[in-house]
Amino acid sequence: NAGVMQNPRHLVRRRGQEARLRCSPMKGHSHVYWYRQLPEEGLKFMVYLQKENIIDESGMPKERFSAEFPKEGPSILRIQQVVRGDSAAYFCASSPSGARNTIYFGEGSWLTVV
Amino acid sequence: AQSVAQPEDQVNVAEGNPLTVKCTYSVSGNPYLFWYVQYPNRGLQFLLKYITGDNLVKGSYGFEAEFNKSQTSFHLKKPSALVSDSALYFCAVRETDGGTASKLTFGTGTRLQVTL
């Protein structure tokens, strides 16, 4: 059973470009979470999704950031018009339904904005 | 709102000695508590969790954690530290509301440094 798969692992974008980060959850997992980690900092929650539904987006910046988890295919975190402050590691995690279940993390996507 | 505090930015311990990484939490309902470890440039690896039952939870790589409801703590422990345990450790809490799952809220992390 493959783990949570994220790609790309490393992404370089110029200021003003768009970044798309993809996440395939573990098999059988219907919940996806996105977190951001700035250098030498902890993990900040961004968004929590189920298939075709955003459950909690309280951590998403109001502008330029969006996320989806379609019925088919991976979850996508999209950052439009990137700025240098968007440079960070973005982690996706997944779990089955049910609060008792463990949330498993992917290896992360490192975004560098130049 | 749920929150987690890890009061120590760094913990230093000699190999072979016991280690403790502290964590306290705040939730309005029953907490589900987790510990994760992160090695440089890697994702988070799950170590253990407390859901219900025995207050002492055993996890991966010889780690264990003790849930203390009165002190709202969930300290991570290991009887004998290894150099390879050196990493960043995160405590997290997941609040439940009638069984409805919510996000994980993380502490700021504690860097464990184990030396020979």
When pLDDT is cut at 50, 70 and 90, the band that residue A9 belongs to is very high
Please report the pLDDT score of residue B53 as a whole number.
87
Please judge whether B43 and A95 are an interchain contact, meaning their C-beta atoms are less than 8 angstroms apart. Answer: no
Return the residue matching tokens 């799950």.
B46
What residues of chain A lie within 8 A of the CB of B90, using their CB?
42-43
Closest CA in chain B for residue A97: B101
Q: Which amino acid is at B109?
A: G
Report chain B residues whose CB lies below 8 A from the CB of A108: 41-43
* pLDDT confidence tier of residue A84, bands split at 50, 70 and 90: very high
Which residues in chain B come in under a pLDDT of 70? 97-101
Alpha-carbon distance B51 to A86, whole Å?
35
**Inter-chain contact A45–B109, Cβ cutoff 8 Å?**
no
Tokens of B43: 């994702």
The pLDDT value recorded for residue A1 is 56
Q: Min CA distance, A94 vs chain B (Å)?
A: 11
B12-37 pLDDT, tens per residue? 999 999 999 999 999 888 889 999 99
Residues from chain B that touch A42, judged by Cβ atoms under 8 A, are 90, 106-109
Instruction: Give the pLDDT score at B97.
Output: 62
Where do we find the tokens 């783990």? A3
**Does the distance separating the beta carbons of B108 and A105 come in below 8 Å?**
no
3-class secondary structure, A84:
helix
- The pLDDT score that the predictor gives to residue B100 is 63
d(CA A45, CA A91): 10
Q: Looking at the predicted structure, is the pLDDT value of residue A37 above 90?
A: yes
Percent of chain A predicted with pLDDT > 70 = 99
Q: Contact B108/A41, CB-based, under 8 Å?
A: yes
Q: What is the pLDDT of residues A41-72, one digit of tens each?
A: 789 999 999 999 999 999 999 999 999 999 99
User: B72 is written with which tokens?
Assistant: 């709202």
Which chain A residues contact residue B36 at CB under 8 A? 105
Inter-chain residue contact A107 with B44, CB threshold 8 Å: no
- pLDDT for position B96: 72
- From chain A, pick out residues whose CB is under 8 angstroms from the CB of B94: 99, 103
User: Using an 8 Å Cβ cutoff, are A75 and A92 in contact?
Assistant: yes
- Look at B101 and A31 and tell me if their CB atoms are within 8 Å: yes
Cβ–Cβ under 8 Å, residues B110 and B21: yes
Place of tokens 């069984």: B99
Q: What percent of chain A has pLDDT over 90?
A: 86
Nearest CA among B95, B93, B55 for reference residue B77: B55
Whether residue A42 and residue B90 make contact (CB cut-off 8 A), yes or no, is: yes
Tokens of B40: 């440089």
